[in-house]
Chain A
Amino acid sequence: MTELYEDGNALAGPLGEIFAVDVTVAIQRCAHCGRTGPVAALRVYRHAPGLVARCPGCDGVVLRLVRTPDAAFLDLTGALNLRIPLEA
């Protein structure tokens, strides 16, 4: 079962606690292989202590999110950048 994962869509709630916009529609660039794609299409694993989102191309870790009762730890070192669509 540990090989199973969800799509980055599942990050919408946890990231929505932190950001004022829906980050799952942002286009991210993987720091490991350079691939670009929507955050919603990352592969999300929940069996770690928190959420781990991996690149569907190279399996590198793009984003990690750990929630404690009074804080959220967000690690984005695996994402070179995010292109976040905003209303004009």
Chain B
Amino acid sequence: MARAAVSGRLGGRLTWRGARLVESRDETAAARTLMFEVPDWPGHLAGQHVDVRLSAEDGYQAVRSYSLAAPADGDRIALSVQRVPDGEVSPYLTQDFAVGDSVELRGPLGGWFVWRPAERDPVLLVAGGSGIVPLMAMVRARRVTGSRVPFRLIYSVRSPADLYYADELRVPQPGDGGLDVAYVFTREAPDGHSRPTGRIAVADINNGGWPPEFEPNCFVCGPTGFVEIVADILVALGHDPRRVKTERFGPTGG
């Protein structure tokens, strides 16, 4: 269960913690979910991230940010990592990193792009590709806390093979009543999918989202260009820019 604490700080200062891989599974051909055991994990909010640090024997260090994919289960946390070709960190984490291996991480981080189960406003989640990860954490937090807040998720991916959490989203889980999921396939759609393939557009947000009068909290996560387009559409449709929170994946992922 999610715990309420949000501070990742010991004695007021953010510290690096050891984290040991206890389980992993493939989400797609290029993405893997990693379950870590982190002693004394303080709990986190859906939408928060961690920084992961790898150190080479010569002292070289690389740090990357990854979103937490689910509420904490005691001292266990989940990250879903997309493999970036030629990346420094993600190929290691998704291919070579094995159960029992350790990294350092710090967090939970970021108190702005978060959803709190006590909030009552409807929620719109718009994910582009691996941007689903922090939004899935919100879906899962809603489920485990028994929240009845209406959620709508619009999930844009290239093809069905690129869907993270495909089974979990296709078959409504106990507690997922009030969660609607709409898909946007940009290159290749499954048989029977009525929407033609193509980039996300006004009609997708209009049909799969909430009217602005409902004053939903909107969370948009994905590559920079995707987030720009979706945020612009939401504001053009009349949503208050202060209710449109974004998290862009920059150029250095990897």
Contact = CB atoms under 8 A, between A and B. Distances in A.
Given A16-B8, A20-B12, A38 B252 contact: no
Chief secondary structure at chain B's binding surface: strand
Given A4-B224, A41-B246, A24 B251 contact: no
Contacts of A47: 251
Interface residues of A, number: 24
Interface residues of B, number: 26
Contact of B111 (A1, A6, A7, A24): A24
A13 B107 contact: yes
A17 interface: yes
Interface in A12-51: 12-13, 16-17, 20, 22, 24-25, 38-41, 44, 46-47
Contacts, number: 70
A9 B112 contact: yes
Contacts of B247: 7, 9
B49 A12 contact: yes
B248 A7 contact: yes
Interface of A: 1-2, 4-10, 12-13, 16-17, 20, 22, 24-25, 38-41, 44, 46-47
